[in-house]
Amino acid sequence: MGFEINGKTYETDEEGYLVNLAEWDEEAAKFLAIEEKVEMTDQHWEVINFLREYYNDYQIAPAVRVLTKAIGKKLGPEKGNSKYLYELFPYGPAKQACKIAGLPKPTGCI
């Protein structure tokens, strides 16, 4: 499975997550966002970039509770709450945002 943008192919697993994190780029993110029916704004990108940084630091995709807390710490309490994150990613911030960010499905995502 996978998709192709401008001649570059991206491999995905059966749930649509990128197989190879290193293949991720903004074009892939935009494509995955459309698949998830998410219209990307600066607020969305902020979360996506945060997730990529988190993964880079810790080598895992955070559980949603951990993501919420970590965002609150870094970007302020008005963003570190589930209401804000669910408004951006209605079908689950961990699941949808991780997919768009090219991360694997969060560990501890039940």
Are 87 and 38 within 8 A, CB to CB?
A: no
Q: Tell me, yes or no, if 109 is annotated catalytic.
A: yes
Cβ-in-10-Å burial (0-12, 13-18, 19+) of 67 comes to buried
Comparing CB distances to other proteins, the nearer of 58 and 87 is 58
Comparing CB distances to other proteins, the nearer of 8 and 65 is 65
Q: CA–CA separation, 28 vs 8, rounded Å?
A: 10
| Active-site option among 20, 29, 109, 110 | 109
Query: Is residue 14 near other proteins by the rule CB under 8 A?
Result: no
- Residues at the interface with other proteins (CB under 8 A): 57-60, 62-63, 65-66, 69-70, 91-92, 95, 105, 107-110
